[in-house]
Amino acid sequence: MNTDDLANALISGFRSVIAQQEYLNRINVFPVADSDTGTNLSLSLSSALVIVDNNKEKHVGPMLVSLADAMLDGARGNSGAIFAQFFQGISDSAGELTYFTTDTFRDAINLGSEYAHDALSNPREGTVLSVIQAFAKSITQLTSENPEAEFIDVISKAQAIVEKALTETPKQLNILKKAGVVDAGAKGFALLIGGMSDYLQNGVIKPMPEMALLNEVESGIEISTDNTSSQFRFCTECLVTASDIDRRKLREALAGLGDSIVLAGSKHKAKIHIHVDNPDTVFGVARQFGEISGKKADDMHRQQSAAHNSSKSFVVITDSGADISDEDIERLDIHMVPCRIQFGNQGYLDKVSISSAEFYAELKNNPHHPTTSQPSPGDFRRQFQFLASHFENVLSITLSSNASGAYEGAKLAAKRSKAPGYIHVVDSLNASIGQGQLTILAAECAAAGISIDKTLKILEREIPQTKTFALLYDLSYAVRGGRLPQWIKLIADLLRVTPIIYIKANGQLGLATCLLGRGNRIRRYAKFISSHYKDNENLQIGIGHAICSKDAEELAKQLRNNIESIDELKICELGPGLGAHGGPGTLIVSTRSAISDDGLTSGPN
């Protein structure tokens, strides 16, 4: 088998898996019933597909090196990491081979099977590992029985054995038997071999599936068993790069942190997959073994809820630039893509690997002022891909496009998503509590059964009416972050001035006013905000505080005294988005008109 034939066979196999993404999601019940195996395999194999689609290598060995490296970088989820390790073994066995004979192919597949098995701390029968092993054993047997056999015959007969092994998985794992399904990862591997076999037999490469034409979105398999839920919350992954990684010690260091551990890669690059409650502990361990990148942590509990919730016509997702209470996130099943925070060489995932309290402690004590960056298009795409596999519509509400690149990143990710659901990306033209209020509004529309079209119209009406103000107690953080020159702080301190900034209608920050003197600042801040509203306006108010809860409670009291028609008032902690520049003591207030039952604003236009 020469390089072109191998590349074409792999293309056909990869596309066969991607075409069944939704089916694989639907039958995914092990190790966690979060209905994302198809999505994860699709993303993982798409990374490798780029390599084989554009292959210019003349030898199979170098091509497989590039393929294994790309798949390791792009590996997502448990199955994706196992597939990556399988191809790492094939690559290591192929070395500098010009082409595969059936003998060298047999050796490569066997090493790939060993690598895949060794990647797991607790390998289980009845999973993708069983089917990979069946494939390796069948290749060994077939080439031993007939050393002169053609590749077409070997792969074709091995495919039949793979299919038989796949049907055995429910007998090996009781959870599969209860659900009446085969293992999703094992099915993905069977599809890969089937696509390769089809190409070798008829010379036709499977077409890239048109995801919009796939079957309608179906909910995941429903089964009543506690075994489908991980005791841990976050599916956590990262890539470790170093000159010589001691993978045995790395695995030992991870062993006590969580479950579903998969360690893929080589001594130069290792992909960690693990389920934990605190992703930052994983990143801390990984950092001891080399440079880390590609950090991600997906909330499996929220994914499970989304996968099995067919009552809503659309689902809402935002980035962590939005400040929303944990209660509202849980109540309304809001999904969130974390922004990135960097203190010097130390990086965090906002609200995932660092809490608000931990962030402000670092802000006070760390000599490095933090930098914040929006999620990458890849971060958005991974979550869009999952959600659009389970809902007909996904509504993404982003941080203001005039303050961040999140909106453009989300639009790019939506364009590249290969799931059947439609993704709507809305620019909040706001941030923090304001962005959070708009996100909550959208999620309440979804929960109430309001259509996506009507919700988009409501948002279009509400975005320009949502006002956000921030009282900055200490300008030194804005100076440290380069947002203000030092001389402005010196003048403000000299004149004892406390600035109030606001988010303009175009989403940019501006100076609203300054409070002269430091006395009674909260009472005067409340009076300033109330001056913008008429007595007959029904308002929903959100208050965000940077570790100053008593000040937030006092501000809420003053606002209630000054504004007669407050429909709802909520208080939550302020995240790093604006908090990094305002620092501890910052108070943010966001207001919007309350929504009446007919979905129109009750206040004036």
Q: Please report the pLDDT score of residue 460 as a whole number.
A: 95
Beta carbons within 10 angstroms of residue 337's beta carbon: 29
Q: What is the mean pLDDT of residues 420-430?
A: 94
Q: Please report the pLDDT score of residue 358 as a whole number.
A: 87
Q: Please report the pLDDT score of residue 225 as a whole number.
A: 40
Query: What CA–CA distances, in Å, run from 153 to 138, 144, 479?
Result: 12, 13, 70
Q: Please report the pLDDT score of residue 602 as a whole number.
A: 39
Q: Which amino acid does the sequence have at 179?
A: A
pLDDT, tens digit, 9 for 90 and up, residues 498-527: 888 899 999 988 888 888 887 899 999 999
Dihedral sign (CA 17, 21, 26, 30): positive
HSE, side-chain direction, 13 A CA sphere, residue 515 = 21
Mean pLDDT rounded to a whole number for the chain: 88
Strands (E), 252-380: 259-265, 269-276, 291-299, 314-319, 335-337, 340-343, 346-349, 371-373
Q: What is the mean pLDDT of residues 34-46?
A: 85
Q: Please report the pLDDT score of residue 212 as a whole number.
A: 37
Q: What is the pTM of this model?
A: 0.71
SS3 256: coil
Q: What is the mean pLDDT of residues 167-194?
A: 94
pLDDT, tens digit, 9 for 90 and up, residues 267-297: 899 999 999 999 999 999 999 999 998 888 8
As a whole-number percent, the residues of the chain with pLDDT over 90 amount to 54
Cis status, amide bond into 31, omega within 30 of 0: yes
Q: Please report the pLDDT score of residue 541 as a whole number.
A: 95
Q: Please report the pLDDT score of residue 131 as a whole number.
A: 97
Using 50, 70 and 90 to split pLDDT, how confident is the model at 600? very low
DSSP labels, 97-111: -SS--HHHHHHHHHH
Q: Which two tokens stand for residue 13?
A: 């196999």
Residues with Cβ within 8 Å of 56's Cβ and at least 6 positions away in sequence, in order, are none
Q: What is the mean pLDDT of residues 471-490?
A: 81
Q: Which domains does the chain have, with CATH numbers?
A: 3-207 (1.25.40.340), 230-298 (3.30.70.260), 465-593 (3.30.1180.10)
Using 50, 70 and 90 to split pLDDT, how confident is the model at 405? confident
Dihedral sign (CA 132, 137, 143, 145): negative
Run of H or E including 539: strand 539-545
List the beta bridge partners of residue 573: 545
Q: Please report the pLDDT score of residue 601 as a whole number.
A: 42
pLDDT, tens digit, 9 for 90 and up, residues 328-372: 998 999 999 988 888 887 888 888 888 888 899 899 888 888 888
What residue has token string 């942590």?
Answer: 297
- Checking if the pLDDT of 439 tops 90, the result is yes
Using 50, 70 and 90 to split pLDDT, how confident is the model at 466? very high
Q: Please report the pLDDT score of residue 415 as a whole number.
A: 86
Q: Which one of 39-48, 84-93, 262-271, 400-409 scores highest in mean pLDDT? A: 84-93
Q: Report which of 236, 243, 241, 283 is spatially closest to residue 258, judged by C-alpha positions.
A: 236
Using 50, 70 and 90 to split pLDDT, how confident is the model at 214? very low
Q: Report which of 492, 466, 458 is spatially closest to residue 477, judged by C-alpha positions.
A: 492
